[in-house]
Amino acid sequence: MIRARRARIVATLGPASRDLDKVRELALAGADVFRVNFSHGTHADHARTIQNVRKAEQAVGRPIAVLADLQGPKLRLGRFAERSAPLKAGQRFRIDMDKTPGDSERVGVPHPEVFAAIREGAVVLLDDGKVRLRVVKHGPDWADTVVEAGEQLSDHKGLNLPGSAIPIPALTEKDRKDLAFALQEGVDWVALSFVQRASDMAELRQIVAGRAGVLAKIEKPAALNALDEILDLSEAVMVARGDLGVELAPEEVPVAQKQLIRAARMRGIPVIVATQMLESMIHSPTPTRAEASDVAGAVYEGADAVMLSAETAAGDYPLEAVSIMDRIITRVEQDPRWSELMRAQHEVGDADALVSAAFHAAETASAACVAAFTLTGQTALRLGRERPVQPTLALTPRLATARRLALAWGVEARVVADIRDPEDIPKLACHEAMAAGLAGPAQRILILAGLPMGAPGAANILRLAHTPRR
């Protein structure tokens, strides 16, 4: 099953969509990667979900990736005596380490890291920014604030300190258990939430040890200040606009999105734009025009993938959400100006020289597709960075590599036998290109490979071949 588009769709699975029939329908509708959100559900739930994805993969006839999204540290309030408490703008309100249930004057915050990061004049956001406090005085385990906005708080609402790097590890004990389980289940990507510094990704990489791709979710403004170092240790990145938008001013989020997409494209790593893309479709069969424009904007910017969250996990119309997202992407990529906007703008290093040559040769030779033989997926990713109009056919002996490439822009991956004789390369490439529907009889295809075959390393062979005339 070949998709008539280059940008990919990530769909979150949940109660509305994790049954086998639903997963199969979503895959047939165009979902390329399925996200499993470890903030909700049990390991037993997730095991069944992952098994259903693997079964659906057989039905669609192409590799599908599973993305395990770790919850990360969640800073939350304690409880209130009456489960909630009213607030008024201008009143004093204290947060502290006292476990006594709160009221309209104070509430407990069971996170000493918060008080280590708090400073006088700092803003404290509660309940996704619905309540805004300003710190006027603080101590080692308390802070007195003034309510600037908000009318009510209730049990266990989230807490954010915009502009502050909180000294808390990105991997919690729960995350470590979830990560061990996810790797045991053979997931293809692992997303780390609330990354603040490069050391967060370094720790994840060390634990994963190559068993899955590692993805940095950019949800904290602090991460933007260390973006280069974080991306240097990441194999993909997500623009997580929901949490990022809590701590950033609304006008800053689109700028951050463009910055992240540009940085990822320069490095040649996949970038996902996520959160509230088709939010109204949680309860509506059609999106708003603004939402359609939002998805289209991410595609025009060159994002590798766009993501659906609650729309498919818990919404009333998961299939419709994937279908309309597929249609929006396909329509954008039919725009004559779209290919001009996709032109790569990066310096070509030694490792990219032949890949860049393949990109230009494919255009000059009017090739139907570019077939890239790859062990680790790096050759296909480098080619995708060039954003060729022709589809990239990644041929790999590793199923794990093929699945991981489901997230990559414009790449169709297929698992093939591990070949050792270079003379077999053109015949196999032509056969797979025709079988996948990427080339017809007597068409040119460009082949990118490396010798010795079966060894990881940069491509060093560029060859033009012709498919048989039948």
Task: Return the active site residues.
Answer: 35, 76, 217, 275
The single-letter code of the amino acid at 84 is S
| CA 327/CA 330 separation, integer angstroms | 5
Task: Give kind and range of the element (H or E) at residue 34.
Answer: strand 33-37
CA neighbor of 177 nearest in space, from 207, 140, 218: 207
The gap between the terminal CA atoms of the chain, to the nearest Å, is: 22
Q: Check: CB of residue 273 under 8 Å from CB of residue 7.
A: no
Burial (Cβ within 10 Å: 0-12, 13-18, ≥19) of residue 210: exposed
How many other CB atoms sit within 10 Å of the CB of residue 456?
Answer: 11
Find the DSSP H helices in 226-369: 227-232, 241-247, 253-267, 289-300, 310-313, 318-332, 338-341, 353-364
How many other CB atoms sit within 10 Å of the CB of residue 307?
Answer: 28
Cβ within 8 Å of residue 78, ≥6 positions away: 99, 101, 102, 107, 108, 109, 110, 155, 156
| CA 71/CA 21 separation, integer angstroms | 27
DSSP 38: T
Cβ within 8 Å of residue 251, ≥6 positions away: none
Question: Exposed e or buried b for every residue in 245-255, given b needs 16+ CB within 10 A?
Answer: bbbbeeeebee
The dihedral formed by the CA atoms of 17, 214, 462 and 349, expressed in degrees to the nearest 10: 140
